[in-house]
A and B are shown apart, each in its own frame.
Chain A
Amino acid sequence: GAGVSQTPSNKVTEKGKYVELRCDPISGHTALYWYRQSLGQGPEFLIYFQGTGAADDSGLPNDRFFAVRPEGSVSTLKIQRTERGDSAVYLCASSLGIPGANVLTFGAGSRLTVL
């Protein structure tokens, strides 16, 4: 596609529920990133995929968070047993090749609200 697409744009859920957020990167971009942006903060790194594999998941806050990219394109971020502190905007980005000096192209984000 022309840009990075994220769905849903808004998600409201109740504490304890399971949530999936989807990212469709730019066609041909092998690198895919998930970031989380809380109110008044800059984006915080969660996980980086190169192709189908999670090359770096050091930013995932705990084992309730998991992400997959089974075919090396679309990725899904999964959050189990959501907590109010998970409320944030979840940003997806993609880029060509390895990180280095490559520019990340971001989607508009999925705003998650946990009640």
Chain B
Amino acid sequence: AQSVAQPEDQVNVAEGNPLTVKCTYSVSGNPYLFWYVQYPNRGLQFLLKYITGDNLVKGSYGFEAEFNKSQTSFHLKKPSALVSDSALYFCAVRDRTGANNLFFGTGTRLTVIP
């Protein structure tokens, strides 16, 4: 079975400071991991994904995420937050056994304070 945990419902960070949005997962075997962002009244937008190789994945808008197999984590990071980064962030996982379902976490609302 697949599962994703986003332990923080809300993250607040000051503009210009680094941000981290946490995600841990559980799958059988190795995962495909994704981060999506959702702005009000808009669809989910893809940020980045991990397939294989380098554990540090770089994505859109300056975001990056680090895959840590031993901790089963895939935390989203950005060195310097912008007010425009304020949105709802979702981590998602799919196992490699042929699963069709992309399983999403419950989301973390990021607020960047000017």
Contact = CB atoms under 8 A, between A and B. Distances in A.
A48 B100 contact: yes
Given A59-B101, A99-B94, A99-B100, A43 B34 contact: no
Interface stretch (A11-19, A66-74, A77-85, A100-108): A100-108
A99 B44 contact: no
A103 B47 CA distance: 10
Q: Which of A4, A59, A100, A108 has the most CB of B within 10 A?
A: A100
B99 A43 contact: no
Interface stretch (B13-21, B69-77, B104-112): B104-112
A56 B106 contact: no
B51 interface: yes
Nearest to B33: A101
A110 B34 CA distance: 23
- Interface size classification for chain B: 20 to 34
Contacts of B105: 42
B22 interface: no
A59 B106 CA distance: 17
A53 to B, nearest CB: 12
Contacts of A108: 41-43
B44 A41 contact: no
Given A42-B104, A43-B90, A103 B44 contact: no
Contacts of B34: 103
